[in-house]
Amino acid sequence: MIYQFRVTLPGIKGFYRIYKVNSANTLYSFHKQLQADLEFPADQPILFKAMAGETVLARYALVNLGFGVVDEVPVSKAIKLGAEFFEYFYDTKAKKKVIITLEAEEPGSDVSVPTLMNDMKGPLPIEFENGYVAFEDLPQEKRKLPGEKSALDMLLGGDDDDDEDLDDEDEDEEDEDVDEETEEIYDENE
């Protein structure tokens, strides 16, 4: 059996990755693939929380938390428990996680290791931590493509050229700053 999972960041619309995973693959092999593809830190403890709605069905980690360890538990075991999705904590101390949602099941064994598909969106999760905001995640009033007027600009009759004029003034001020810095001062007593 092949499972298709969608990996998302909580509350972020501008990121997802699609994986195909063989039912015989362990959670550990899935973890290693996620870690490599999404550049998660390798020195952090990890945790898979198998979830059905708001209910935690099981917790899997590198140590046995009562449900088995990740390197011994096949993905199919968690799915058979009724897991609809996993909360995968790639940094348990900082509570950093992605949501891994089961999207589809298909018969076969075409995939032998967890495989990242070409269907993906957004940069790596670390970019969101560093302040990246996807267009989809912007508030509606801030969504504006280059050369396009916002709804507020259209109501007020604003002109985008004003923005360009302000930018030119900033450049002139920067040029003056550079001139002041390069001006040499001589002491007449020398």
The tally of CA atoms less than 13 A away on the side-chain side of residue 52 is 8
Global pTM? 0.71
The alpha carbon of residue 103 and the mean position of all alpha carbons in its chain are separated, in whole angstroms, by 18
| Rounded CA separation 86/78 (Å) | 9
- Establish how many alpha carbons lie within 13 A of residue 98's alpha carbon, considering only the half-sphere containing its beta carbon: 24
Quickly count helices (H) and strands (E) in the chain.
5, 7
The model's pLDDT over 147-184, given as tens digits with 9 standing for 90+, comes to 776 666 666 765 555 455 455 555 555 555 555 555 55
- What would the pLDDT profile of 15-73 be if each residue is shown by its tens digit? 999 999 999 999 999 999 999 999 999 999 999 999 999 999 999 999 999 999 999 99
Provide the token pair at 181: 């810095």
Q: Which CATH number fits domain 2-138: 3.10.290.30, 2.30.40.10, 1.20.1560.10, 3.40.50.720?
A: 3.10.290.30
Say whether pLDDT at 129 is over 80: no
Sign of CA dihedral 36, 82, 91, 99: positive
User: How do residues 96-125 score in pLDDT, each as one tens digit?
Assistant: 999 999 999 999 988 899 999 999 998 888
d(CA 55, CA 150): 42
Six-digit token string for 81: 């428990």
pLDDT of residue 183: 58
Instruction: Report how far apart, in Å, the C-alpha atoms of 86 and of each of 172, 175, 188 are.
Output: 54, 54, 75
**What's the CA dihedral at 139, 144, 150, 153 to 10 degrees?**
110
- Rg for the chain (alpha carbons), in Å? 25
Question: Beta strand pairing status for 96-106 and 2-8?
Answer: antiparallel
